[in-house]
Structure 1
Amino acid sequence: MEKIGTIASIKKEATIYKLTNPFRWFAKFGATGGLILFFISIVALVWANSPYQNVYEDFKNINLTFSIGSFVISKGLILWINDALMAIFFFVVGLEIKREFLVGELSDIRKASFPIVAAIGGMLVPALIYYLFNQEGDLRNGWGIPMATDIAFALGFLALLGSRVPTSLKIFLTALAIVDDIGAVIVIGLFYTETIHLIPIVCAGCIFVSMIFGNRLGIRTPWFYLIFGIFLWIAFLKSGIHATVSGVLAAFTIPSKSLVDGHLFVKEGKSLLNEFEVSFSKTKTIKHSQNSLTTKQESIVATMETACEYILPPLYRLEHSILPWVTFVIMPIFALANAGITIEGDLFRSLSHSVSYGVIGGLFLGKPIGVFLFSFIAVKLGISKLPEQTNWTQIIGIGFFAGVGFTMSIFVASLAFLDSNSLLTNSKIGILIGSLLSLTVGMIVLRFQKQK
């Protein structure tokens, strides 16, 4: 009877796995994030231009209030999304930036120079193109919009090309997008801040130093950084500097070193596994349930679990635990709230606005031109080296992928044209069309490249 029960249990587990396996595959597939963002953006556009347009606007402006005693934060839902949820997104971006500088593609200056130079060109040329068309008044504020790259969207659709894109190109786009994110954080912190309040800035500085001090003391529990990170976010929110900057700064304080040496971990791991194997072999000869562990075996497993926690730094654990929430929850919510553009009147009239074609020109032309031109000059001067298994046509294709600004560009646009709905709408139209053109041409260029 016990064997029959075991076989039935195995069959049940196998059936569940077959049913859920497509969903697991979809969740792990590289293009998932980009495809979800694309679908949600279509939903937002249709909703914003449907008979239920008022429901969409009411949804974005639902007022949410948080208060403790006399301390009150009251904002519309879209501001909570742009200020709070995006701070979590930038926290993950900060973790990725720190990891890349420690052990990734940006840790070696010889490898990092190529994407860094390319990213600088991919930021300067689009900003210049936008500024050439918008040099007056509030129009100038949008120069930072075409500088950004949506890493999730770009990498997601690049994954659809599969083996046609060499790994070196994917690494190049990732590093380029991360440098773009660094530039976006600097632009937001320095140029999209109207009024700075000194006391909250001092408080933010003290909190930031406390988090660094906690790192130095060896505090590794996420709760310490979560609590201090919330206070850091509140301080930036009240300071006048955009609150998302707090996410990047908080990420830089997260411990990134293992508590145990790798050789010691291997030695202790083998010892614990051998001990577990001996204990398990003994229990097999005794009538004992195979689905339960003895007290000694539980102790061994708990010790192994602690050893794994010691070898894995909090930086790695936090990034991998938060990233799915950012990919499948935070960014889709942001897209739903911000991508819904209400197109009133003639679409072509909106496209003829200098802000729209400034953004389109910056993303669709400025990005590939800047990425190619700066990286080409850097290689010719001997500053950088072209990645292995790539050619200049592929670099141009990646330049078009870098022109997929989308969520990052929309976020910068919401800061640049905070007080002008018409300019914000025109900029969003430019972002959507510029990103779509860049994505289409980038896919075509890389799709028909011969594999080496």
Structure 2
Amino acid sequence: MSDNDTSTTPPRDGIHPLTIIEHSPDPEAADPRENRRPSIAARIRDLGEARKGALLLLIATAAAIAWANISAESYHGFWETQMTIGLGDLQLAFTLHALVNDALMAIFFFTVGLEVRREFAIGELTSWRRAMIPVMAAIAGLIVPAVLFLLISAGSGQEHAWGVVISTDTAFLVGALALIGPKASGRLRVFLLALAVVDDIGALSIIALFYTQNFSPMPLLVAAVGLAGIYATRFLRRGRGPIYATLAIIVWLAFLASGVHPTLAGVAIALLIPVYRPNRRDVEQALELARTFRQSPNSEYARQAANSLRESISINERLQSAYAPYVAYVILPLFALANAGVELSGPILAAAVRSPITWAIVVGLVVGKFLGVFGAAAIMKVFRLGEFGLGLTLDRIAGGAALCGIGFTISLFIVDLAITDEAAQNEARVGVLAASVIAFVLSWAMFRISDARRPDDDGGRTLVRAVDPARDRIYGPVDAPLTIVEYGDFQCEFCLKASGSIEEVRRELGDRLRYVWRHAPLERFHPNALAGAEAFEAATLQGKGAEFSRSLFADQQHQLPSDIIRRARELDLDIDRFERDLESAQVTGRVRDDMLDAEAMDITSVPTFYVNGVRHVGPYDAQSLIRALTEQPA
């Protein structure tokens, strides 16, 4: 059998490609705790952590406002406290406010740069057709707010502060989506994160080009040498950490001396940090060293095992994991505490209401971001440009576009850079805070309307993404009148049992049936299921997907990296190509798409069958499936 995307002939030897042993499935024996999976959003990132970070940022903002209004003198006096660090004649003097905005925020922008680097290397932005929607939406979301700001602020003398309205606060965006987002928001979240990455690139570029003062080029030569050293450090076998840290400090000081805002040093450094998917051979080596340590525990084996395990993960991802808690729980709350202290006295609020700066910011962020992001997405949808995944509908994009009006972190950051007049700064901060509140409430309303418009009783009853011969793994005639779609997991014993039912159904219905396999690995309970799904897709690219799936089902207990490679060798696959495909965006994206589709249809257990486009509920023995196929209109 040719294991391409489609097949119009029965599988070789008359055996279904996903069948090893025929079982009589016993659905009643299934423990529901063993075949439930967490939402895809939880797999992409822990939403609980996102909520905590957003709430802490909100608390810090409220504390800053309360502090500034209770005692403006102590608030400003505290953050203007002078500090000096130096040795001998080398002295560096700065205020606490500058320490937060210039030094700690450099770490924040460093983590932003790491995310940018990762998305372009192995993330959502590797495929242009997939990436063009958030990219174009982000670009429109940068341009439209700036234009509206310039139109409204004309004649105010603060037109140059248009950068305040260009950027979305990624931390608040993720946290707010976790708090008020729609049901099954996984694909929307992927879209918004990709958009936020491009948005951050634009914002950082604008800061560098338009908000750099007293520029001196000579220190940038030192920075260039330091950045070259950071790039070369990846080739060292060990001791990279101290070298990275030393060179990073040198680059930051060079940016500071040049007049270019030193936070951009964080981005420049991050873009040179290597990122790659874990190599299965490295992971297997780490496992072997761990076994050796277990058999003969001593400090040398422990060190080797720890180093091997650490090196199997890219430096980029290790640094993201290391810095993420500090950024979420320390740096961003401190930034909010140092910058959100707006005095909300009657005269200040009255001045803000009359101020064109306040209104330019509110309209730019709330209206401009929505028109830019949603308008660009709607145009691309109408003209069928790019790839909109299941669940990424215009009503949900509308809610996400409204949420993009939360500018907060970078907006307040640029207020400090672009506006020198204290009264105008207060008016601008009032505008940023007001816009963030309005955007949050507007987005909440849109998401609730979006959920209300969807049938309450559907709950994933209907197969939303129709069978696509150009994309799906179809077994049987492409145009067969009867269809079964299974969402399954190669490490799930119930999926193995169900394969016997599928083979029996195929024997009885013959060419009247087409069968489609889609991935829904239960990572929480089957830690190797995702690897098995990706291996199946990589083997399919060499025409051996059917054989590989039979091998996976034949021995569900052995699906470690070494087992995956061994199976590939046994099937005479090109191992080098197989390993490259395992790490490719094509393979990982295909599996992830199935998982996102499953989440959008509220699939929380496997196997889950769709019979002629409708979810099958009840026993999945052969006769039950055949009866459902004949009773359910195609």
Residues 80-99 of structure 1: pairs in structure 2 closer than 5 A: 80-99=99-118
Partner of 1:31: 51
Other-structure match for 2:371: 369
Deviation (angstroms), 1:163 = 6.2
How many residue pairs match? The answer is 407
TM-score between the two structures when normalised by the length of structure 1: 0.85
User: What amino acid sits opposite 1:329 in the alignment?
Assistant: V
Alignment check: 8 A CA contact 1:87 1:247 kept = yes
Q: Distance in 1 between matches of 2:401 and 2:96?
A: 35
CA distance in structure 2 between the aligned counterparts of 1:373 and 1:103, rounded to whole angstroms = 28
Residue among 78, 82, 92 paired with 1:73: 92
Larger displacement relative to structure 2 (63-72 or 353-362): 63-72
Letter of the structure 1 residue corresponding to residue 215 of structure 2 = I
**1:34-53 counterparts in 2 under 5 A?**
34-50=54-70, 52-53=71-72
Aligned to 2:441: 440
Q: After TM superposition, which residue ranges in structure 1, 4 or more long, deviate above 4 angstroms?
A: 216-220, 272-277, 297-300
Q: 1:402 aligns with which of 396, 404, 411?
A: 404
Cα separation, 1, equivalents of 2:238 and 2:293 = 31
CA deviation after TM superposition for structure 1 residue 216, in Å: 4.3
Kindly provide the CA deviation profile for residues 290-344 of structure 1, in whole angstroms up to 9, marking residues without a partner as x: xxxxx63655443321220120121111110111001000000100010001234
Gapped regions of structure 1 (runs ≥ 5) = 1-25, 280-294
Q: Which has the higher contact order (CA 8 A, sep 6+)?
A: 1
2: distance between equivalents of 1:153 and 1:313?
27
| Distance apart, 1:107 and its partner CA | 1.7
Deviation, structure 1 residue 111 = 1.5
Tell me the TM-score normalized by structure 2.
0.61
Amino acid at match of 1:247: G
User: Quick one: percent identity of the two aligned structures?
Assistant: 31
| Contact 2:408-2:433 within 8 A present in 1 as well | yes
Residues in 2 aligned to 1:414 and 1:43: alpha-carbon distance in whole angstroms: 19
Q: 1:393–1:445: 8 Å Cα contact kept in structure 2?
A: yes
- 2-side partners of 1:111 and 1:28: how far apart? 27
Partner Cα distance (1:377, 1:27) in 2: 31
Aligned residue in 2 for 1:306? 307
Shift of 1:65: 1.1
Aligned to 2:178: 159
Q: Which of residues 241, 263, 273 is equivalent to 1:254?
A: 273
Contact 1:87 1:244 survives alignment (8 Å): yes
1:428–1:302 Cα change, 3 Å: same
Query: After the TM superposition, which residues 301-380 of structure 1 pair with which residues of structure 2 at under 5 Å, given as runs?
Result: 301-344=302-345, 345-380=347-382
Cα distance in 2, alignment partners of residues 264 and 63 from structure 1 = 49
Distance in structure 2 (CA, Å) of the matches to 1:216 and 1:111:
33
Q: d(CA) in 2 for partners of 1:261 and 1:346? A: 58
d(CA) in 2 for partners of 1:248 and 1:186?
10
Of 193, 197, 201, which residue of structure 2 is paired with 1:178? 197
**Distance of aligned partners of 1:368 and 1:165 in 2 relative to their CA distance in 1, 3 Å threshold:** farther
Q: Distance in 2 between matches of 1:139 and 1:257?
A: 44
1:411-430 matched pairs, under 5 angstroms: 411-417=413-419, 419-430=420-431
Quickly say closer, same or farther: Cα 1:439–1:247, change in 2 above 3 A. Answer: same
2:283 is aligned to 265
Q: Distance in 1 between matches of 2:247 and 2:73?
A: 39
Indicate the structure with greater helix content: 1
SS in 1 for 2:273: coil
Instruction: State the shift of 1:377 in Å.
Output: 2.0
**How many angstroms apart in 1 are the aligned matches of 2:225 and 2:304?**
37
Query: 2:83·2:95 contact (CA, 8 Å) conserved in 1?
Result: yes
SS where residue 29 of structure 1 aligns? Answer: helix
Q: 1: distance between equivalents of 2:326 and 2:225?
A: 29
SS in 2 for 1:180: helix
Answer whether contact 2:182 2:448 (CA < 8 A) is retained. no
Q: Deviations over 1:382-415 (max 9, x none)?
A: 4322232121111111001111001111001111
- Is the 1:165–1:446 Cα contact (8 Å) retained in structure 2? no
Aligned residue for 2:50, secondary structure, equals: coil
- Contact in 1 for aligned 2:68/2:342 (Cα 8 Å): yes
Distance 1:363 1:122 in 2: 9
In the TM superposition, what is the alpha-carbon distance from 1:215 to its structure 2 partner?
2.7
Are the aligned partners of 1:234 and 1:243 in contact in 2 as well (CA < 8 Å)?
A: yes
- Secondary structure (helix, strand or coil) at the match of 2:176 reads helix
1:389 corresponds to? 391
Tell me the distance in 2 between the aligned counterparts of 1:218 and 1:127. Answer: 47
> Alignment partner for residue 105 of structure 1, among 124, 136, 139?
124
